[in-house]
Structure 1
Amino acid sequence: MVYHPQEHQLDPLHEPVAVIGSGLAGLITAYTLLQDGFANVEILTRDKSVGGVWSEERVYPGLCINSVHGEYRFSPLPMRVPESHTKTGGRLSGDNIRQYLEEFKERFLKGKIRFETEVLNIRRGDGGRGWSVLVHDKNSASAEKVRVLYYPRIVLCTGGNSNPYFPESLAPEAAKAARFSGPVFHSMDFASRIDDLLSCTAPTGPDAPREVVVVGSGKSAQDAAAFLANEGRPVTVIFRIADAFLASPNPLPDAIRKSRLLSVMAGDKELRSRLERFLHTTWIGGLIVRGFWQTLARYSHHVLGLPRDSPLRCTRSIFWNTRTNDEGVPREGSFYSLVNAGKITIVSPAQVEKYGDDGQSVVLDDGRTVPASAVILATGYKSTWRPIFDDETIEYLGLGRRPPGYEPRKKYHWDYTSLANPPAIPRDAPWVAPVYRALVPAKSMLNRDFAINGATLSTHHAYISELSAHWIAAYFRRDELRLPRSVDEALDLADRDAAWVRRRYPYTQNWTSESNATGICFWSWPQLADNLLEDMGLPARRSGGNWLTWPFKPMDIDHLAHLKEEREAKRRSSTT
């Protein structure tokens, strides 16, 4: 169905737009809106530099990402090949990304960013139109640094990795109450605490090591542990179960790494090709799919040389979970090589319960104690939305997560053979917020003045963020766009997406926040890309190929380079 909007009283191109957040999604959203003709676009960020998780204040030596060169970039700006490209198998460092995003800002967004401007609250403007944004402007020369800004339209690009989560018994306050003698901080602050950490954990003698305990098994836990081990610090990493990972002896060819192959093998709520229907709805296809993912996991363990009794082999399922890292090729000084060399100690399965009474240890759930001179909590993040919206606005927009036990108005079933014998859905797992396409809250679908970018959990964040930015620009411009025709229809479609996520990734909603993963298309991001293109009335499946080769054709970000011109042509044709 196609939604034909009525004419608005004011031209949206002449009204201000606020983009909240200067990470990957925020930068490409602001750029796209400006290119699309919006004359007054402004980014608000509490940081001193652009990049979000890749900002200068958060990037530290040894930080690397799951992407290789050519993936984590936008179509308007090529990325220079890093000097370490060959050594790392194409893997990008945090500093590579920081430099790229800084260059993008300098090239396209100078003068469009309010740095050190923290958003304290967003609520509906007077008269029920637009948005009042309460900010703390640290750069303001006036005495009143807290003030209200007004924007007719807002794009929320705050992501999900800037509001750290602390288990109550391990929070810095709990450490202080237990008289723990060393520093305790979240992995988000690792970059700013490195010098202090290295100083306070320097050994006092050859027989007096100063242990660092890292709580968690995710990418940030691994990077922090590897950095410290390479600096000669004894490190113990404690977790219940390890994240899954992929690895290969040589860099994967684009026909595997950048194609639709993994998405085809992962399945989606809509099976749009004969191959996908065969793989996910036939008995033999289900065997092929399950065997494919199990083989990937076992092969990755072998490539990294993990001993058979290594706790790093006890991972979450690659198929059923989204906590999967791409380790790439084996590298000297990496987390896995350091564990194999005995320079990082793994304690698993275990959970840290509290700080020890001696002020120099942590206590595990089985009563064991582990020496600790410092503790790094890689314990995840809370929603970035809750601090900036009051309950009334959360309810108005419909951004609240629906509680455990919520039942959608319709029943949705996917009787795929590939989904046989799924893990049980945790009883305490809430439903995600009802956000259509993870871009617009279903309850405010027809208003066309509020959107979200960056809340989709996928393995190709840059591609989806750029494509989503074009979708949002079309939405704000009131272009002809395939949308639900009513709030009820939008809620039903959001319910369907949430029901699919619970079926496909049973554990994910239990550990992600709504701002981190309102939409989850981890391996199946190409299917989402096709949907967004078709929403805008543009050709999908841009990688091409015939009935045999299309799953192996690389999906390149440059396929999106001319979306603006395509949308303009579509707009002209719809008015003639």
Structure 2
Amino acid sequence: MERNPREESIAVIGSGVAGLITAYTLIRDGFTEVDILTRDAQVGGIWAKDRIYPGLFLNNVHGEYRLSPLKMPPPVSGGDRLGGDDMNQYFEAFASKFLSGKIQFNLDVHNIRRPASGEGWLLDVTNLVTGVQETREYARLVLCTGGSSNPRIPQALSPETAAAAGFKGLVFHTVDFARKLDELLAHAAAAESGPETPSVVVIGGGKSAQDVCAYLANEGKKVTLVCHNLDPFTAGPKPLPDFIRRSRLLSLFSPHIHLRTALERFLHTTWLGKKIVDFTWHGLAESSFKAMNIPEGSPLRNTVSAFWHVRVSDEGVPRPNGFHPLAVAGKIEVLSPAHATGFSEDGTSIVLDDGRTLPASVLVLATGYTSSWPSLFEETTINELGLRPHLAQPNPEYQWDYTTLSDAPPLHPDAEKWSSSLYRGLVPAQNIARRDFAVNGACISPNNGYTLEVASHWISSHFLRDKMRIPQTPEDALKETERAAAWLKRRYPEVPTALNASLTGYLAFWSWPQHADDLLEDMRLPVMRGGGNGLTWPFQVVDLKEIEHLKEERDAKRSKSQI
């Protein structure tokens, strides 16, 4: 007799938002043995206490990064912008309320592999406090380790290279910003110092780089940002109404792998529709520059396109102590486009590709992250699962004749070469029929609470062997993932998704509502839950109430299918 899957053990690796909501959903669905294993000493993942830093604010308005089982209190800072402390307190409250006794801290999981029987999983586990090592066995496994903890450090700018070059300053990645803060401030010179005084040099144009620069400028320190280009952003002179800010409106102007509605088809497949879409995105960028008072010719305008990228910050109403106003006021020096290539021979400066040198007391690397997965798995296992990027297989059958994609930027060399084989960003195609392994948190989305919660139900249904509209064989699943990979190359050609598969297994971003609907369709559940008619649906406010009863809906489907 086939064993009841609810009686089989599950390890959820990671205690960030993805791990917490996945474990919660599995437990509510009746799985009796669910363990959350984490290296950290507290819950929260990137929002754990030892990772948050002063001045850290989310890009999301209040209520967009929460989960349906628990309301979120107002931000401690006032307004609607969530800070790092807000997030940490929320996830600690969630864990305390729903997952007491389920989380095991300070555990380093590694060498994940199949046992000799070929069924289930073996995990080597080391207690980071006691040093005790053991091997555990679980029937199922969910990876919720994300891709924002292992820093990507260019060799030419690494601490080791700096030491070999005799660089006298401090070098570290932003992942260590909170831990290195006191040392950083001790090394940093005052902003009113002369032009030859060493500066804190920050490499990168993303949110963490901008956060570090803003913090130092607000502390009265001399700081210089160096980057090829900056992340785009949205901003306005006053808060946007909810029917714009918290609706599906921007998703309407972003094409998806398939277009569900007549309005989407008009916008993305007709000449007039393209004009409207182009005007919308151009207007969004220009109005944001205007709201921040960024003058023509400023390096702050050297941003990538918000339409073609998944690195977009929501600044809302400009804050005087925010990155852009500080840079416009000259309190942050911005060099862009520019590229740092190494250290000077005298050990006092950073060398740029145009030959310039920047006197530097500290080098802060905001250079991104690498996948968390390679350190977890035995080499043969990660290859058998298909978690590594694989060589892309171009297929002329995969075509999207969308007018809005007709003037795409060049394809990134790494995007052209590599593809991910995660179905929906959740299950490796090679393992889809076994229903004993899944991933949550490898899909880029600006509304993580909503998409991660829907994904947790998808994973639970997958483990329960519910009737789902998904490929039934690895071969069919691989065809679907190849099609999805081809789509991502078309939609986001400048984004090399496979370079950090544990964070970018799938790119939903602006089209996150459509992606969530794909997952709901897989579970044979209703989609486009905000309501409205053929013209008003984009303006309906997205609310977690739409998905708070997914368990009951899935239970009803399951019962009906068993009659």
TM-score by length of 2: 0.97
What SS does the aligned partner of 1:96 have? helix
Structure 2 distance, partners of 1:27, 1:545, is 32
**From 283, 290, 297, the counterpart of 1:295:** 283
Distance 2:263 2:254 in 1: 12
Asked if the contact 1:432/1:518 (under 8 Å) is kept, the reply is no
Q: Do structure 1's residue 443 and structure 2's residue 433 form an aligned pair?
A: no
Contact preservation (8 Å) 2:191, 2:223: no
Q: Shift in Å at residue 323 of structure 1?
A: 1.6
Partner of 1:104: 94
In the other structure, the counterpart of 1:245 is 233
Q: Which residue of 2 aligns with 1:486?
A: 473
Q: CA deviation at 1:512?
A: 4.7
- Residues 1:156 and 2:169 aligned together: no
In the alignment, residue 309 of structure 2 is paired with which amino acid?
N
RMSD of aligned residue pairs (Cα, Å): 1.6
Q: Deviations over 1:525-554 (max 9, x none)?
A: 111111111211211111001122111001
* Structure 2 residue 24 is matched with structure 1 residue 21: no
Alignment-derived partner of residue 104 in structure 2: 114
CA distance in 1, matches of 2:193, 2:375: 47
- Name the aligned partner's letter for residue 417 of structure 1: T
1:67 Cα deviation from its structure 2 partner? 0.5
Whole-angstrom CA distance in 2 between matches of 1:542 and 1:62 = 35
1:452 aligns with 2:445: no
1:54 matched residue in structure 2: 47
Cα distance, 1:205–1:213 mapped onto 2, change above 3 Å? closer
Say which SS state the counterpart of residue 266 (structure 1) adopts: coil
Q: Is the 8 A contact 1:464 1:525 kept in 2?
A: yes
Q: 2:323 aligns with which of 331, 335, 341?
A: 335
Following superposition, the deviation at residue 203 of structure 1 comes to: 5.1
Matched, 1:414 2:421: no
Confirm whether residue 130 of structure 1 aligns to residue 158 of structure 2.
no
Alignment of 1:56-455 (within 5 A): 56-86=49-79, 90-140=80-130, 145-201=132-188, 209-403=197-391, 406-408=392-394, 411-429=397-415, 430-455=417-442
Deviation at 1:100, TM superposition (A): 0.6
Consecutive aligned runs of 4 or more in structure 1 exceeding 4 Å deviation: 202-210
| Cα distance, 1:484–1:205 mapped onto 2, change above 3 Å | closer
Moved more, 534-543 or 233-242: 534-543
Q: Secondary structure at the match of 2:510?
A: coil
Which letter does structure 1 place at the counterpart of 2:106? E
CA–CA distance in structure 2, aligned partners of residues 12 and 288 of structure 1: 50
SS at match of 1:484: coil
Residue 322 of structure 1, CA deviation: 1.2
Does 2:541 match 1:554?
yes
TM-score (norm 1): 0.95
CA distance in 1 between partners of 2:250 and 2:63 (Å): 18
Distance in 1, Cα, partners of 2:99 & 2:21: 10
Runs of at least 5 residues in structure 2 that lack an aligned partner in the other structure: none
Aligned partners of 1:251 and 1:159: how far apart in 2? 31
Q: Percent identity?
A: 51
Deviation at 1:202, TM superposition (A): 5.1
Partner amino acid, structure 1, of 2:313: N
Judge which range, 410-419 or 186-195, deviates more: 410-419
Which consecutive unaligned segments of at least 5 residues does structure 1 have?
Answer: 1-7
Secondary structure of the 2:24 match is helix
CA contact (8 A) 2:188 2:222 kept: no
Change (3 A) 1:122 1:511: closer
CA gap of 1:309–1:13, structure 2 versus 1, over 3 A, is same
Aligned length in residues: 561
Q: Does the CA-based 8 Å contact 1:426-1:510 persist in structure 2?
A: no
Report what 1:534 is aligned to.
521
Q: Distance in 2 between matches of 1:408 and 1:367?
A: 40
Q: Which deviates more, 406-415 or 515-524?
A: 406-415
Task: State how far apart, in whole Å, the 2-side matches of 1:202 and 1:511 are.
Answer: 39
Contact 1:54-1:98 at 8 Å conserved across structures: yes
Classify 1:351/1:453 alpha carbon distance in 2 versus 1 (closer, same or farther; 3 Å): same
Residues 21-51 of structure 1: per-residue CA shift (max 9 Å, x gap): 1111011001111111111111111111111
Secondary structure at the counterpart of residue 354 of structure 2: coil
**2:152 aligned partner, one-letter code:** Y
The residue identity in structure 1 corresponding to 2:418 is W
CA distance in 2, matches of 1:291, 1:205: 42
Counterpart of 1:32? Answer: 25
